[in-house]
Structure 1
Amino acid sequence: MKYRIIALDIDGTLLNDQYEVTEATIRSIERIHRAGTQIVLCTGRSPENSIPIMNKLGLEGVLITHNGAVTVQTPGFQVLHQFSFPIGKVEPLIRFCREQEVHFDVNDAEHLYVERAGEEEAAMYEKYMVRPVVTADVLQLRQPMVKLTVFGSEERMDEVERQWLESGLPEGLVMIRSGVHFIDVMLEGVSKGTALEKLAEQLQVGREAILAMGNYYNDIDMIEFAGLGVAMDNSPDAVKEAADLVAPSNNEDGVSRILQDFCV
């Protein structure tokens, strides 16, 4: 089967635990890209810190960012579509975070905004190659937002998730655990999978011609939509159960090995 689209999650999938793309993975991607297959990075990251990874791979084209909320075209920065909401939509959640001293940020299509960032948060943003815009009160922002993210220890995020499940989110919003230390809140119905499906329709590519690889809960619907859905060995069990097969981990060149087996 010649896959026409390869959809790749970034963190925990394309990148190893040192946040590197290995040379073996770069060579495999270059080979199948030259053969005419489109590589689409599908990530919870913003365009700001995912486009540099695409550049490192020597690719141009489409990226699905913010867990499906923003799809952009490179080179440059052209927003193809976005799913956004006014900042007031998440005001109750922001006030919760302020009262409970839970770190949060809000994102529009291009930028990430914070009210504060301590040493731990600053180190996290640096690791993910993000330059937050510090603003005194994010509720005064007027541009449409695509995502609210909260960050903290696994135990703290477990507790926030529990409280928000019990109290309920504002109507029309959903939350997803995009990492052990992160919870994302977006519009209901927005996901990597729905964005990938929309892109496939635009490109007139059937799902059977799509291979998708990921490692976390925010990758499940993308994995389930693809003709061949692959979970990394470093995935939680629920992600593996949703996949057609399990690849070696992100520290074992899992992406490269799957591409070699199914796309070369």
Structure 2
Amino acid sequence: MYKLIAIDIDDTLINDSKEVTPATQQALEQAIAKGVIVTLATGRAYASAQAIARQIGMNVPIITYQGSLVKNLLDEKVLYERYVPMEAVRKVFDYCMLHHLHLQTYIDDKLFAREENQKLIDYTTLNRTEYYIEPDVAKLAAHPTPKLLIIDDPDYLDEIAPQLRELLGEDVHITKSKPNFLEIMHHEGTKGHALKFLAAHFGCDMSQTIAIGDSWNDHEMLEAAGLGVAMGNAIPALKELADYVTLSNNEDGVKAAIDKFILQPE
């Protein structure tokens, strides 16, 4: 019997219209009514994710910033937190300045960038997030952050990712949440680490957990979970390692997975 489900938000829980459908909402409510702990596991900031969690009626801790922050919804108590090492933060800012890359940082759950540009506007429109401009790079680089995000052409990001891994070493985790988003966290800031933490927090064995996602930043939690579910619209690499492939985010794939494994298990 599964006791804990962690669900990615973008292109997983929400459809292409950025909505949780009534059918998926009902399936989540039915799972919760059966005593299953349903949580979110997202690359989004807590401020962005908690709005969706509250809309669904969740009251449990949620996994945000790719796993760098696990925070209670009810009292907003921080349960798990990992910051990017400060030396790595400075190196990433220097690298991005040198190569004229768009870099975003998160300080006290607020999104900051050095300048306003189309990449920032598109990102914040997509995630419905407020943003703040701080032209002083030294100020931005001096603040602890759970996540740094570079936005650029997918092929170019694939080219620079190995350079950044070499530059930053073992202390950081680098992943892609979308083809044009390269994200840098603490090496324990993964959805897999956060899922293991939450399972222990609730006294669940990992065999009793389900993880559902669509992108490469979900692979650690799909591999860690007792049952790893890839969406029908997931990238091929995630489908290959998943235990099960459900329908797409536009076909209530999350509902289909909950129906199969929680509400109507064989």
TM-score (norm 2): 0.92
Report the CA distance shift for 1:39/1:224 in structure 2 as closer, same or farther (over 3 A). Answer: same
In the TM superposition, 1:52-91 aligns within 5 A as: 52-85=51-84, 87-91=86-90
**CA contact 1:46–1:109 (8 Å) conserved in 2:** no
**CA contact 2:173–2:187 (8 Å) conserved in 1:** yes
Cα shift at 1:162: 4.7
Q: Counterpart in 2 of 1:145? A: 145
> Matched residue of 1:263: which SS?
helix
**CA contact 1:87–1:139 (8 Å) conserved in 2:** no
Provide the C-alpha distance between the structure 1 equivalents of 2:216 and 2:181, rounded to a whole number of angstroms.
11
> Matched residue of 2:210: which SS?
strand
Provide the C-alpha distance between the structure 2 equivalents of 1:261 and 1:109, rounded to a whole number of angstroms.
39
Q: Counterpart in 2 of 1:126? A: 125
Provide the C-alpha distance between the structure 1 equivalents of 2:89 and 2:189, rounded to a whole number of angstroms.
16
Provide the C-alpha distance between the structure 2 equivalents of 1:207 and 1:192, rounded to a whole number of angstroms.
13
Q: Counterpart in 2 of 1:117? A: 116
In the TM superposition, 1:1-264 aligns within 5 A as: 1=1, 3-85=2-84, 87-108=86-107, 110-141=109-140, 142-165=142-165, 167-170=166-169, 172-264=171-263
More divergent stretch after superposition (83-92 vs 23-32):
83-92
Cα shift at 1:205: 0.4
**CA contact 2:173–2:190 (8 Å) conserved in 1:** no
> Matched residue of 1:130: which SS?
coil
User: C-alpha deviations, 1:3-44, integer Å up to 9, x for none?
Assistant: 211110111110112211111101110111122111110000
Provide the C-alpha distance between the structure 1 equivalents of 2:36 and 2:74, rounded to a whole number of angstroms.
18
User: C-alpha deviations, 1:142-173, integer Å up to 9, x for none?
Assistant: 442111110123233233325435x5325512
**CA contact 2:80–2:194 (8 Å) conserved in 1:** no
Provide the C-alpha distance between the structure 2 equivalents of 1:140 and 1:49, rounded to a whole number of angstroms.
24
Provide the C-alpha distance between the structure 1 equivalents of 2:186 and 2:85, rounded to a whole number of angstroms.
11
User: C-alpha deviations, 1:207-262, integer Å up to 9, x for none?
Assistant: 11111101111111101111111011111221112111101111111001111111
**CA contact 1:176–1:217 (8 Å) conserved in 2:** yes
**CA contact 2:228–2:242 (8 Å) conserved in 1:** yes
> Matched residue of 1:80: which SS?
strand
**CA contact 2:88–2:168 (8 Å) conserved in 1:** no
Cα shift at 1:263: 0.8
Provide the C-alpha distance between the structure 2 equivalents of 1:106 and 1:242, rounded to a whole number of angstroms.
31
Cα shift at 1:117: 2.1
Provide the C-alpha distance between the structure 2 equivalents of 1:220 and 1:213, rounded to a whole number of angstroms.
10
**CA contact 2:39–2:58 (8 Å) conserved in 1:** no
> Matched residue of 1:104: which SS?
strand
**CA contact 1:232–1:247 (8 Å) conserved in 2:** yes
TM-score (norm 1): 0.93
Provide the C-alpha distance between the structure 2 equivalents of 1:201 and 1:138, rounded to a whole number of angstroms.
39
More divergent stretch after superposition (138-147 vs 63-72):
138-147
Report the CA distance shift for 1:213/1:199 in structure 2 as closer, same or farther (over 3 A). Answer: same
Unaligned runs of 5+ in 1: none
AA partner of residue 96 (structure 1): Y
AA partner of residue 122 (structure 2): A
Unaligned runs of 5+ in 2: none
Identity across matched positions, percent: 31
Provide the C-alpha distance between the structure 2 equivalents of 1:114 and 1:121, rounded to a whole number of angstroms.
8
